[in-house]
Structure 1
Amino acid sequence: MMAQQKTNRWFRAVIAAVALLAALGLVAAACSDDDGTAAPPPKTERDAYTQWYVQQALERYDDTGRQATIDYYNNEAGADDQWYVFIMDANTGFLVAHATIPSRVGTNSGERVDITGHAYGPLLRASPESGHWVDYVFYNPQTDTGGTKHTWAIRQDDLVFASGWYEDSYPIPRPTKSEPGSYTRTFVEDAVWFYESNGRDALIDHFNSPNSTDPSSVDGQWYGFVVDLNGVVLAHPTTPDYVGQTVHEILGDTPEGLAAADGMVAATETGTWVEYLSRNPQSGERETKHTWVVKRDEILIASGWYESG
């Protein structure tokens, strides 16, 4: 009788163990996709989702190779809501893939500086194999405005794979016209983000019309203009006759004007201020103009404010 009870207890224990293993198997299956890969974290866990998203790109690279991965992430398949993958050559800093802004492919992102002056490009380029976070202000293609972006970047061989998420609001209050210097920088910043989203030709067309909006090409005394690296004006909404001329020809009637033209064509991605006398289209008078110039790839994007007296 005792032997039979022991046998029954042993049998029940085995059944319980099998049931437990089966339950664990169901839980594991529920936590995986149909193909057996780990399911993504919820997008509300933005750090975790970003790291998972970049990991998918690394696994694709391991499975399909360099060129197939680059081709995949050079189209919209490489984007998911606010998340998108971009890939940088760690040796040169040049982008080889960008899922949402194709005009950036072939440009040097390893030297990028955001509108606050933060040099985030070198940090991305120096990403370790263990990965790290890089924060900077950047254009959000979903909201068509700027925000602080938190990017997870990790190196694999000679490539850096990265993606990030955006803060829900603009990082700082937008300045008003009572702060002309800050307002000017924001005016140029909006033009830069338009360029990042739409490309060179669209920006030139946009600023060759005085009626363009979103962003405005003209806003009172503020207007945007575009110059190439040789100083040739490509777009000007208030004085179309300037298009095709160089800034040296336009400003060169005084030594101060020539110096300002030199400073303009020497502008970097960090941005620079130049000052010169120019006709204020609102007052019709020659006034001191304070112009903020930012280099992006092969063009200079600028705007300024006037100071009378």
Structure 2
Amino acid sequence: MRSFIKFLTLTLFSFFLNQAAFAAEHGTAQEAEAMVKKATAYIKTKGNESAYTEFNSVTGSFVDRDLYIFVLDLNGKILAHGANAKLLGKNLSTLKDVDNKAFIEELLTIAKSKGKGWIDYKWPNPTTKAIELKSTYFEKSGDIIVACGIYK
């Protein structure tokens, strides 16, 4: 009986330890919202070009674990992207995820009508390289949209 209790205790301890490690690797919804607000303020104080340079830096202050900032104009053109420089300058307005969801179009529509919000879609996680469910928080600021997503 004691062996079973020891085994159960170690199993539970290992489970909770793994859960804590998993949570530490991933950003939260609150962290994503805070990063968007910080990025928007950074743009206002530093200007677009300086801010975009910082957002594009994978070692910059706007990349944290699997959280990163991306910025697009109101037509869907990527102006900054903290995880994939190959997307810079590309218009992604017609981009669809693996489930054929036109998530950028949805993001643009909500940003123009409500100013901010969340969208869900599937996207490659830059740390795991796997396609994962992602929720992105975004805010319209003037003629741009600043966004940061979390992987679920």
Q: Same fold (TM over 0.5)?
A: yes
Mapped contact 1:88–1:125 kept (Cα < 8 A): no
The aligned counterpart of 2:54 is 72
The aligned counterpart of 1:146 is 131
1:94 maps to which of 72, 77, 97: 77
Mapped contact 1:124–1:160 kept (Cα < 8 A): no
Mapped contact 1:148–1:166 kept (Cα < 8 A): yes
Structure 1 ranges of 4+ moved more than 6 A: 42-45
- After TM superposition, the score normalised by the length of structure 2 is 0.76
The aligned counterpart of 2:45 is 63
Deviation at 1:43, TM superposition (A): 8.6
Q: 1:132 aligns to what SS in structure 2?
A: strand
Number of matched pairs: 125
Q: Over residues 226-252 of structure 1, what are the superposed CA-to-partner deviations in whole Å (9 max), with x where a residue is unaligned?
A: xxxxxxxxxxxxxxxxxxxxxxxxxxx
The aligned counterpart of 2:17 is none
| Residues 130 and 137 of structure 1, relative CA distance in 2, 3 Å threshold | same
1:85 maps to which of 63, 69, 72: 69
The aligned counterpart of 2:140 is 155
Q: Which has the larger radius of gyration?
A: 1
Report the residue type matching 1:85 in the other structure: I
CA distance in 2: counterparts of 1:155 and 1:137, whole angstroms: 22
What stretches of structure 2 of length at least 5 have no aligned partner? 1-23
Mapped contact 1:115–1:137 kept (Cα < 8 A): yes
Q: Over residues 174-205 of structure 1, what are the superposed CA-to-partner deviations in whole Å (9 max), with x where a residue is unaligned?
A: xxxxxxxxxxxxxxxxxxxxxxxxxxxxxxxx
Deviation at 1:130, TM superposition (A): 3.8
What stretches of structure 1 of length at least 5 have no aligned partner? 1-41, 168-309
Deviation at 1:50, TM superposition (A): 0.9
CA distance in 2: counterparts of 1:148 and 1:82, whole angstroms: 13
How many percent identity over aligned positions? Answer: 22
- After TM superposition, the score normalised by the length of structure 1 is 0.38
CA distance in 1: counterparts of 2:27 and 2:121, whole angstroms: 20
CA distance in 1: counterparts of 2:72 and 2:118, whole angstroms: 15
Matches within 5 A, 1:1-309: 46-76=28-58, 77=60, 78-90=62-74, 92-126=75-109, 127-128=111-112, 130-167=115-152
Report the residue type matching 1:109 in the other structure: L
What is the RMSD of the two structures over their aligned residues, measured on CA atoms? 1.9
Deviation at 1:125, TM superposition (A): 2.1
- By percentage of residues, which structure has more helix? 2
| Residues 96 and 44 of structure 1, relative CA distance in 2, 3 Å threshold | closer
